[in-house]
Amino acid sequence: MEVIIISMKIKGTTRITGVFGYPVNHSLSPIFQNAAFDYLKLDYVYIPLEVKPENLKIAVESIKIFNWIGVNVTIPHKKEVIKYLDELDESSEILSVVNTIHNIDGKLKGYTTDGDGFIRSLKEDGKFNIKNKNVFIIGAGGSSYAICGALIKERVKSIFITNRTYENARKLKEHLKKKLNFKNIEIIEFEKRNDRKIWENIDLLINTTSVGMKENDPLLIEKINIEKVQFVYDIVYNRKTELLKSAEYLKISNLDGISMLVYQGAISFEIWTGKKAPVDIMKKAICEKIKK
Ligand code: ATR
């Protein structure tokens, strides 16, 4: 499908949205959100908004003052922003993070769409059903919290977590136990992640770390173990990682982070516009940008 970017016309009626971040100049969201608005001929515009941490409060107030439809929120504001909002959806309440704000008649509601974006990408692009599956996750940072929360909501059977820093994996396990009452979690020490017996029953392998973003990054899981899983998901999106190259070589179904990036943005788009997001158009816009 071809993306046709119609030159944007800002009018008196144009609804404004964007992304608050610091830095924000690396964000791909303006590219695919504006492509989606253009494609559906919606009178919306999405702009990058550099917000320093000390200006976050006033920036959030400006959403109401200027009657913007809402914004995305990215690093470093995802947690800090919560105290300035009027309401949170269930996932952002549980995970204490927000990446999307919707201005509903002057009340600001926070959402987190990363986890649901991950699940939607797994279902729609990966055709993979997560219910009752055993999952092995590398990483215990923000993305891992969002993904674990969403997997549990989708009734995954068990989660194995490995992380470079054991303490962070322990905190994630405790969090999931306390907030979601999910007990089927095992921490695998980072040095033991390739023990053969762990891999006997793993269905899905997910990398949530930044390992793979750089060209000489190592393959954290040995091929003999990757070979045993049904599906490999790597949230890195800037290049084809060693993990994904291995999955492809072994003919194992796989997805990269572009899919998650698009679906988390698609859910934000749907929250703001009430319309189904044109995910193929959004994907194409990102791929064209990344290839350049
Ligand atoms: P995000 O919000 O994208 O998840 P994050 O919260 O900074 O980012 O988390 C990054 C994750 O990548 C963490 O699990 C981190 O491990 P630590 O808890 O030990 O910091 C992991 N990570 C980053 N660089 C890594 C590396 N070189 N090897 C292994 N894990 C790494």
pLDDT in tens, 156-178: 999 999 999 999 999 999 999 99
Ligand 1 near 164 CB (within 6 A): yes
Of 11, 78, 157, 179, which one is the catalytic site residue? Answer: 78
Check residue 292 and give its pLDDT.
54
Residues 6+ apart with CB under 8 A from 125: 255, 259, 263
Query: Of 22, 31, 4, nearest to 292 (Cα)?
Result: 31
Ligand 1 near 208 CB (within 6 A): yes
d(CA 189, CA 140): 12
Q: Say how many Å lie between the CA of residue 53 and the centre of ligand 1.
A: 22
Residue 87, amino acid: E
Q: Report residue 7 as tokens.
A: 């030159």
Q: Report residue 149 as tokens.
A: 């929360």
d(CA 214, CA 48): 25
Q: Which residue has the tokens 């070589």?
A: 249
CA-to-CA dists, residue 221 to 211, 228, 236, 240, 243, angstroms: 11, 11, 15, 16, 8
Query: Of 211, 266, 213, 260, nearest to 233 (Cα)?
Result: 260
Check residue 9 and give its pLDDT.
84
pLDDT per residue as tens, the chain (292 positions):
455 555 568 999 999 999 999 999 999 999 999 999 999 999 999 999 999 999 999 999 999 999 999 999 999 999 999 999 999 999 999 998 999 999 999 999 999 999 999 999 999 999 999 999 999 999 999 899 999 999 999 999 999 999 999 999 999 999 999 999 999 999 999 999 999 999 999 999 999 999 999 999 999 999 999 999 999 999 998 899 999 999 999 999 999 999 999 999 999 999 999 999 999 999 999 999 887 5
Q: Which contacts qualify for 243-246: CB closer than 8 Å, 24 or more apart?
A: 243/205, 243/207, 243/212, 243/219, 244/212, 246/219
Cis peptide bond upstream of 53, omega within 30: no
Q: Whose CA is nearest to atom 14 of ligand 1?
A: 139
At 7, give phi and psi (nearest 5°): -60, 130
Check residue 232 and give its pLDDT.
98
Q: Say how many Å lie between the CA of residue 275 and the centre of ligand 1.
A: 35
Check residue 150 and give its pLDDT.
96
Structural domains in the chain plus CATH codes: 15-112+259-291 (3.40.50.10860), 116-255 (3.40.50.720)
At 35, give phi and psi (nearest 5°): -60, -40
Check residue 247 and give its pLDDT.
98
Could you write out the DSSP letters of every residue in 77-132?
-TTGGGGG-SEE-HHHHHHT--SEEEEETTEEEEE--HHHHHHHHHHHTT----TT
Query: Of 90, 60, 55, nearest to 73 (Cα)?
Result: 60
101: left (phi over 0), alpha (psi -120 to 50) or beta: beta
Residue 283 falls in the annotated catalytic set: no
Check residue 238 and give its pLDDT.
87
Q: Whose CA is nearest to atom 22 of ligand 1?
A: 209
Check residue 184 and give its pLDDT.
97
β-pair type (70-73, 87-88): unpaired
